[in-house]
Amino acid sequence: METTPDTLNYMIAGHIVFAVVLIGYVISLVVRWQNLRREEQTLQELEH
């Protein structure tokens, strides 16, 4: 009878890659949000 292959390292690596991508996406959203708020303030200052 064959044994089940040990793929724990691949599972951990996959979770690490997913976490890095997710953190990068969240950072990207925060930066975009800050830029949008800054642009909104600039437009409000120009309006007055």
pLDDT digits (tens, 9 = 90+) for 19-30: 999 999 999 999
Confidence of residue 11 (pLDDT cuts 50, 70, 90): very high
Radius of gyration of the chain (CA): 22
The residue assigned the tokens 């007055």 is 48
Count H helices, E strands: the chain?
1, 0
Q: C-alpha 44: how far from its chain's center? A: 30
- Between CA 32 and CA 40 the distance in angstroms is 12
CA angle at residue 47 from 44 to 48, to 5 degrees?
Answer: 95
Say if residue 1's pLDDT is above 80. no
